[in-house]
Amino acid sequence: MKNSYKAYALQCLVCDRQYQPHEVSYFCPHCKGEGALDVLYDYPTLKREWPRAALAHQQARGMWRYDRLMPLSSTQYVPPLLVGNTPLYAPANLLGEGSAIKVLIKDESRQPTGSLKDRASALAVAHALQSGARTVAVASTGNAASALAGMSASMGLHNVIYLPRTAPREKRAQMLGYGAEIVLVDGQYDEAFEQCLAGCQAHGWYNRTTGINSYMSEGKKTVAFEICEQLHWQVPDLIFVPVGNGCILGSVYKGLFDLLQLGWIDRMPRLIGVQAEHSNFMYRAWRSDRSMARTARIAPTSLASSINVALPRDRLKAMRAVTASNGEFMCVSDQDIVTAASRLASRTGVFAEAGAASAFAGLIKYAQAHPDTAQTAVVLITGSGLKDTSIFLSGSAGGPPGALAGQLPAPLNTAPSQGISA
């Protein structure tokens, strides 16, 4: 890996202090857990030495083709599983004949463990092993834990999962299959987060958890690199991202920011963060005049378990993503999510879990409010429906739509989805 490992600094989003990599673990020591860090590279040097055309000759696989924007010194500890290279589909008339919006689906359900979280966990495992760690722990609603368990299994690394007892059994089965050590937690993600933090502090484990480990954005941001490369560096107008903890939204922004610094793209798309109505901290904070510190924490009750979070731990990066891109936060109902998941599966073949389908539900709602606006919108499908099948097998959210009640929606007269390759 030809990499500018020593040529990056870590800057706190709260106090603006800068650190060298050896000076900190993975959050600001001054601001503690509230101090999210940005990884800032030597962009002028990279811009001069690493032209965009060089990617055509890059031999590394998947997300590691962007190695010079990754905080690792070598490929020695990179997991062997292929992470990245997920398809970008262009289904015809997914929003109906009257919509002027061109829809693109970035299908992260095709990752090794079935979710975008593989991008962060691959980096976490490599970074942990590079740091000499023997155990990696994570608090998760399911996807980050499955990803960590799979990546750890591929490298023989012990991992400990703090998981809400109510997490989907499909995700728990996946972790058990990978050989993870699971600690079941009474409560939701927020309780798991606190228990994982205490466990890591007590035992000296590497903490992969979003919001504590600022490096996780550097793995997830590679999805933005891929989207732009697959579109031949023509930036879409909108990117819809499901929001729980906020890390994926913040990471998409960071990836686009990196590309702007290198001159590989010429503008920032509007980033649309989509939350469930019953798990909507970021939406409420964005809509109000109050600071996030004064926004009430409300226990989440959405059926979209993967985005059920009372207090998003990467809220600073998520809020910056929306405000800096002139984007917005949206809320969708559980019924909207179920309907969107059914439509997406039955009309494109992309089978999304509820949390992932919230992004498509957000696009449907946006399109209804902007029927005549000609735009290109990328929808980030972050996880497979096979990881939580409950919405397809039972009547959820106050009564299922036709597809879940045994009455399939009328199919559109559309052409098959067409993949867009890099």
pLDDT digits (tens, 9 = 90+) for 239-254: 999 999 999 999 999 9
Output 77 or 7, whichever has higher pLDDT: 77
The token duo for 54 is: 């060089």
With a pLDDT cut of 70, the percent of the chain lying above it is: 92
Q: Give the pLDDT confidence score for residue 53 in this predicted structure.
A: 94
The structure tokens 């036709």 sit at 402
SS3 category, 66: helix
Band of residue 372 on the pLDDT scale cut at 50, 70, 90: confident
- Helix (H) / strand (E) containing 175: helix 169-178
Q: What does the pLDDT read at residue 213?
A: 92
Whether residue 234 is predicted with pLDDT greater than 90 in this model: the reply is yes
Compute the chain's Rg from CA coordinates.
Answer: 20
pLDDT at 395: 54
CB neighbourhood size of 23 (10 A): 11
> Which of 94, 114, 116, 112 lies closest to 103 in space, CA to CA?
94
Report CA-CA distances (Å) from 6 to 13, 69, 73, 215.
Answer: 21, 12, 8, 15
Residue 419 has pLDDT above 70, yes or no: no
Q: What is the average pLDDT across 140-167?
A: 96
Q: Give 179-191 pLDDT, tens digit per residue.
A: 999 999 999 888 9
The pTM of the full predicted model, rounded to 2 decimals, is 0.91
Predicted pLDDT at 393: 86
Assign 270 to helix, strand or coil. Answer: strand
CATH code given to domain 88-112+216-420: 3.40.50.1100
Q: Flag the least confident range among 4-13, 86-95, 104-113, 273-282.
A: 4-13
Q: Regarding beta strands 238-242 and 270-276, do their DSSP bridges make them parallel or antiparallel, or are they unpaired? A: parallel
Residue 58 pLDDT grade (very low, low, confident, very high; cuts 50, 70, 90): confident
**At residue 5, does pLDDT exceed 50?**
no
Question: What is residue 13's predicted lDDT score, i.e. its pLDDT?
Answer: 93
* pLDDT band, residue 210 (cuts 50/70/90): confident
Averaged confidence pLDDT in the chain: 90
